[in-house]
Amino acid sequence: MAGADVAPPNSLCKRCNEENAVQSIRSERVCDKCFSQYVTTKAIKRMETYRVRGSTAKAARKLLFPLSFGPSSASLLHILDQHLQGQYDRMNRAAYELIVLHIDLHLDVADRKDTSELLEKYKSRFPRHTYSSLGLEQALLLDGIDWKALNMPEPPQDISQKSGTERLQQLIGSMPSATSRTDVITTLLTRLLVDIAKRNGCESILFADSTTRLAEKTLTETAKGRGFSLPWQVSDGMSPHGVGFNYPLRDLLKKELVTFSSLAIPPLADFIISHGPSSQISASSKLTTINDLMAQYFESVEENYPSIVANVVRTSSKLQPLTGDETTACGLCGLPVAEGTDGIYGWGGGQNSASRAAKQDGSHEVLCYGCSRSLNG
């Protein structure tokens, strides 16, 4: 954190004035305990909707908790587990219950075995929640996706002998670039989460995105032509899918969560799969994605200008979804597309339609600009 180097050693925590200050909250030097307290409070404050209220026992509200095994989702699960414990201790009941779900992006059998072992570890550490794990290929069974646009057979008509993972691999492999591959994976992941949330009667999905991650997302989605979707990607509230999206860690920086996860007792280290720093990314590599570029950028901004990172998120969270326009759901991401703005040519900047033959198969498939860009390169 900024200021970490200039503080005198062995100074006392600014908050409790008891312990040695070894951490920083923005420019304040604090002890480990007060730091963890700060992170917990910030997250719990965003969970205020889910307080235990009134004396009559109501059924606990169900929330879907996507667990990626990264430091943010591990930290959030740790925090919410304590939050729920507190509710039980005080009221003998809880206002919500978590349905923890890991979506496996690995296609390899050995990798998947590791995943299920790790999930078992979570189960024994935080036993009060429901756990399940699904492969991303389950998304290929969803209806409500325009599979034809993706050159894939509709789920019930698929009589090929290929397994789900093979078909997923084929679909991802058919994308024109690394950015498109990542984009389609993210879209399928979201659609699958929404579907699972609905089928389990969850009213919201709790995403463990940090401020840094949300800032990253703001610029990534902008760069992918998905600026229109930002109100649902960075703000708390009802999504067009009919399930709420919540971001309880929106006020915490990535590095704060990494520190927090390292301070948890008992340690969380064995529960976290960390991806290395993205500083090695080169823009000239064919495998580099727009997501990588933005992650790298905000990692460096976070270092010296954490408030600017937070300000980006505050700014994009002020964008409001359009209301009243005639919209159709995008055949891939499912978000509403305003009449006449679908595809990559449906606007002033898409001039070169003459030089590129438009799809002429008669069917009018509506894809949003971003999805259309991903499929067309």
Question: In the complex, what is the shortest distance from the CB of residue 216 to another protein, in angstroms, rounded to a whole number?
Answer: 12
Q: Is 27 in the site for another protein (CB under 8 A)?
A: yes
Using CB under 8 A, which of 23, 75, 187, 246 touches another protein? 246
- Minimum separation from the CB atom of position 291 to another protein (A): 10
Q: In the bound complex, what is the minimum distance in angstroms from residue 29's beta carbon to another protein?
A: 15
Look at strands 23-25 and 28-30 and give their pairing.
antiparallel
CB of 275 to another protein, least distance (A): 19
Residues 267-286 that bind another protein (CB under 8 A): 283-284
Does 235 sit near another protein (CB under 8 A)? yes
Min. distance of Cβ 50 from another protein in angstroms?
8
Applying CB under 8 A, among 20, 49, 200, 327 the residue interacting with another protein is 49
Interaction of residue 354 with another protein, rule CB under 8 A: yes
Q: Residues 121 to 150: which contact another protein by CB under 8 A?
A: none
* 204 scored as a contact of another protein (CB under 8 A): yes
Answer yes or no whether residue 293 interacts with another protein by CB under 8 A: yes
105 makes contact with another protein (CB under 8 A): no
Nearer to another protein, 201 or 377 (CB): 377
> Of the ranges 42-50, 110-118, 134-142, 143-151, which one interacts with another protein (CB under 8 A)?
42-50
Asked if 26 touches another protein (CB under 8 A), the answer is yes
In three-state form (DSSP H/G/I as H, E/B as E, the rest C), the secondary structure along the chain is CCCCCCCCCCCECCCCCCCECCEEECCEEECHHHHHHHHHHHHHHCCHHHCCCCCCCCCCEEEEEECCCCHHHHHHHHHHHHHHHHHHHHHCCCCEEEEEEEEECCCCHHHHHHHHHHHHHHHHHCCCCEEEEEEHHHHHHCCCCCHHHHCCCCHHHCCCCCCHHHHHHHHHHCCCCHHHHHHHHHHHHHHHHHHHHHHCCCCEEECCCCHHHHHHHHHHHHHCCCHHHHHHHHCCEECCCCCEEECCCCCCCHHHHHHHHHHCCCCCHHHCCCCCCHHHCCCCCCCCCHHHHHHHHHHHHHHHCHHHHHHHHHHHHCCCCCCCCCEEECCCCCCEEECCCCCCCCCCCCHHHHHCCCCCCCCCCCCCHHHHHHHHC
Toward another protein, which CB reaches closer, 258 or 338?
338
Q: Is residue 323 near another protein by the rule CB under 8 A?
A: yes
Q: Which residues bind another protein (CB under 8 A)?
A: 26-27, 45-46, 48-49, 61, 177-179, 203-204, 218-219, 221-228, 230-231, 235-238, 244, 246, 283-284, 288-290, 293-294, 297, 304-308, 310-312, 314-323, 341, 344, 347-349, 351-352, 354-356, 369-370, 373, 377
